[in-house]
Structure 1
Amino acid sequence: MIQGCENQQIQALARRAPRVAYRVANAVAALAEPGTLALFGFGAGSARPDDPRCVQVALESFDAPAPMEQWQVDAPVDYGTDGALRWSAGGGWLFAAIELDERDHGGTTATAKSAYEQLHHFVAARGAQHVLRVWNYLGAINRGEGDAERYKHFCDGRAAGMGDFFAEGFPAATAIGHHGDVHRLQVYLLACDQPGCRVENPRQISAWRYPRQYGRTPPSFARAMVLPAQDALAISGTAAVVGHASAHLDDLDAQLHETLTNLEALLASAGMAAGFDTQSPLKAYVRHAADAAYVREFLQHRLPGVPVLLLHGDICRSELLVEIDGWRYA
């Protein structure tokens, strides 16, 4: 359900949501377009101009040529760097990204702590202090057993580094394992000078309330976030989880069906009409490359016309084969 938004009225000056689109285009030309807040390339071969707004995400695309993801706002955009951080801002919106090498920061936990401390300090000094959405990409996310798993170490470090970063409530988020340099951690976020509305899924236990079996520190994210003008829903990484348990082990088809059921539950909780359309870009993270063709065919059949970026990534639970996140515009 939507948390704390039952009586919120849409204000005349509410910030219109950034427009998110997947495009096969020249990166330099895309960055020159008015209002470009951020531009993402995917995989080792993606172009990365020397611009703070541009991020080369360490996930390979199953599409060729691989499209870029572009965020645009209705305002001029300023941008720059602050130590290891890259940032851009315009129209009340803030993008910030950081990439760290674990070898320089003492391992997985300490690196996650450092990344979130730096992001916290930077965002706190800006006018756009409401963090609405975060993406986390780390190498070998499922390596290690029990509490020694790298994802669980990441969760420990994230919690240690955030402090009161999310005192008003957790943002929507994604955490996916990439297949690049195992020591590479990438985190980026979208913040605004106006708050959003957190959305939970009635079919699932809130992530921060997971039982101890999922680690010393539960994941810290909301299932989705309604953006300030209530014109878009930012959807967290969503998989075949019911209650707190993973469903349909080793059954890709059933996991895909369950994931779409969870996505529809989120739309209903956000007060949105069912279904996705051609203006609702999604990402599907696929664990096994051999499954990509099936996932593409399944989603084209179930979500005709919906732009889906298919990426090779490991889900934060080793038994899960696919995860979907993205945007739904009102």
Structure 2
Amino acid sequence: MVQAGENLQVRLGLSRTPHVTYRMADPGTVLTEPGTLAAFGFGTGSPDSDDPRWLRVALESFDAPAPIELWQVDATVVCGQQEAVRWSSGGGWLFAAVEVNEHEAGGIESAARQAYAALCQFMGTRDERCVLRIWNYIANINDGDDDAERYKQFCDGRAAGLGDFFANGFPAATAIGHHDRQHVLQIYLLASADAGQAVENPRQVSAWRYPRQYGRTSPGFARAMLMPARDALAISGTAAVVGHASAHEGDLEAQLNETLTNLEALLATADMPAGFDTHSPLKAYVRHPTDAYRVREILQQRLPGVPVLLMHGDVCRRELLVEIDGWRYS
């Protein structure tokens, strides 16, 4: 797989996928390194920076202090801000981020509509128009009942803001709830000048085909995205969902095992090597802080040596206790 990916990259002139790592470092240091496309801090203890490539994610980490997540490319990087969108680009890759205060926007649905409309308008000005991966961090994601649940309202607003932007297929994505007192919707993405290949999980119904019980608007995302050079798989938020139903309600260990089975199914479908290694950074989002120790223990047993950021985050379905996303490099 590695050799085939390298041959394809040479033949098509594709740029290698950004290298994603976790590192204990100061943002001022990593932002001066050549090729830094984006850097992320986590939680209230994370420092601020006015560099457009820096984003303080509202999720708290169970690791103290929390490492920085770093994206780097083999190219010179330029960055700036265009209206509400912060961006950086280099080597055919683009990072873009937008944050919208819900109170100013008039609620989560309006905030999602505004955020995605701004991103779509910005992407229309870029050569790197192939959106491959999106992250959405939403305050109190499970508050409200039935169609009034905040995640479902977010899905409605996102669809309205997007219009037909993803008419040819959805990117990989994550949507996780944070607990920051400020109701700020955070969205950021990775795009490329070249298209990737969406990957679905044969164990699961595709998210855009979910039945009505999951809201007026089905979630719009692919389960994973094979990068243009076929050298990495970007994995969407993955939980204990089989078919379209949540599995093992109330059983943390069973849900985590089911999640890992789903991850392996994605790797197999994408023709990626089985398992994860020391160069495959993952994030595990844990609903209840009291479960964090057990999640860490199981992941260390099942995925020895794999870098995992353990985050306090709510999964989009309230019965789900843990979700995992991340990267698998070939």
Which of the five TM-score ranges fits, normalised by the shorter chain?
Answer: over 0.9
Quick one: structure 1 residues 113 and 277, their matched pair in 2 at CA, closer, same or farther if it must change by over 3 Å?
same
Quick one: structure 1 residues 24 and 167, their matched pair in 2 at CA, closer, same or farther if it must change by over 3 Å?
same
Matched, 1:16 2:16: yes
Matched, 1:223 2:207: no
Which residue type is aligned with residue 193 of structure 2? D
Map of 1:93 onto structure 2 = 93
Q: How do 1:101-140 and structure 2 match up within 5 A? A: 101-140=101-140
Q: How do 1:18-33 and structure 2 match up within 5 A? A: 18-33=18-33
Matched, 1:44 2:41: no
Which secondary structure state, in structure 1, belongs to the residue aligned with residue 264 of structure 2? Answer: helix
Contact 1:138–1:182 under 8 Å retained in 2: no
After TM superposition, give the deviation of residue 65 of structure 1 in Å: 1.2
Q: Describe the superposition over 1:140-181 as per-residue Cα deviations: whole angstroms up to 9, x where unpaired.
A: 100000000000000000000001221221000000000002
Which secondary structure state, in structure 2, belongs to the residue aligned with residue 32 of structure 1? Answer: coil
After TM superposition, give the deviation of residue 84 of structure 1 in Å: 1.6
Q: Paired residues, what number?
A: 323
Map of 2:3 onto structure 1 = none
After TM superposition, give the deviation of residue 9 of structure 1 in Å: 5.3
Map of 2:326 onto structure 1 = 326
Matched, 1:244 2:244: yes
Q: Describe the superposition over 1:61-93 as per-residue Cα deviations: whole angstroms up to 9, x where unpaired.
A: 000110010000010000011112110000100
Matched, 1:284 2:287: no
Name whichever of 9-18 and 296-305 sits farther off: 9-18
Which residue type is aligned with residue 37 of structure 1? L
Map of 1:149 onto structure 2 = 149
Contact 1:171–1:222 under 8 Å retained in 2: yes
Which secondary structure state, in structure 1, belongs to the residue aligned with residue 268 of structure 2? Answer: helix
Q: Percent identity?
A: 68
After TM superposition, give the deviation of residue 183 of structure 1 in Å: 1.9
For residues 175 and 89 of structure 1, the distance between their equivalents in structure 2, rounded to whole angstroms, comes to 24
Which secondary structure state, in structure 2, belongs to the residue aligned with residue 221 of structure 1? Answer: coil
Which secondary structure state, in structure 1, belongs to the residue aligned with residue 154 of structure 2? Answer: helix
After TM superposition, give the deviation of residue 182 of structure 1 in Å: 5.1
Which secondary structure state, in structure 1, belongs to the residue aligned with residue 31 of structure 2? Answer: helix
For residues 194 and 164 of structure 2, the distance between their equivalents in structure 1, rounded to whole angstroms, comes to 18
Matched, 1:192 2:176: no
Q: Describe the superposition over 1:92-151 as per-residue Cα deviations: whole angstroms up to 9, x where unpaired.
A: 000000011011112111110000000001011100000000000010100000000000
Map of 2:176 onto structure 1 = 176
Map of 1:294 onto structure 2 = 294
- What do you get for the CA RMSD once the two structures are aligned? 1.0
Map of 2:73 onto structure 1 = 73
For residues 19 and 228 of structure 2, the distance between their equivalents in structure 1, rounded to whole angstroms, comes to 14
Which secondary structure state, in structure 2, belongs to the residue aligned with residue 280 of structure 1? Answer: coil
Structure 1 gap segments, 5+ residues each: 1-7
For residues 165 and 49 of structure 1, the distance between their equivalents in structure 2, rounded to whole angstroms, comes to 31
Matched, 1:163 2:163: yes
Contact 1:140–1:182 under 8 Å retained in 2: no
Matched, 1:253 2:253: yes
Name whichever of 259-268 and 158-167 sits farther off: 158-167
Which residue type is aligned with residue 87 of structure 1? W
Map of 1:311 onto structure 2 = 311
**TM-score, length basis structure 2:** 0.97
Q: Describe the superposition over 1:262-311 as per-residue Cα deviations: whole angstroms up to 9, x where unpaired.
A: 00000000011210000000000000000000000100000000000000
Which residue type is aligned with residue 68 of structure 1? I
For residues 205 and 78 of structure 1, the distance between their equivalents in structure 2, rounded to whole angstroms, comes to 39
For residues 97 and 279 of structure 2, the distance between their equivalents in structure 1, rounded to whole angstroms, comes to 25
Quick one: structure 1 residues 167 and 15, their matched pair in 2 at CA, closer, same or farther if it must change by over 3 Å?
farther
Deviating 4+ runs (over 3 angstroms) = 8-12
Quick one: structure 1 residues 182 and 143, their matched pair in 2 at CA, closer, same or farther if it must change by over 3 Å?
farther
For residues 200 and 182 of structure 2, the distance between their equivalents in structure 1, rounded to whole angstroms, comes to 32
Map of 2:269 onto structure 1 = 269
For residues 191 and 12 of structure 1, the distance between their equivalents in structure 2, rounded to whole angstroms, comes to 17
Structure 2 gap segments, 5+ residues each: 1-6
Contact 2:8–2:229 under 8 Å retained in 1: no
Map of 1:3 onto structure 2 = none
After TM superposition, give the deviation of residue 49 of structure 1 in Å: 1.7
Map of 1:5 onto structure 2 = none
Map of 2:211 onto structure 1 = 211
Map of 2:34 onto structure 1 = 34
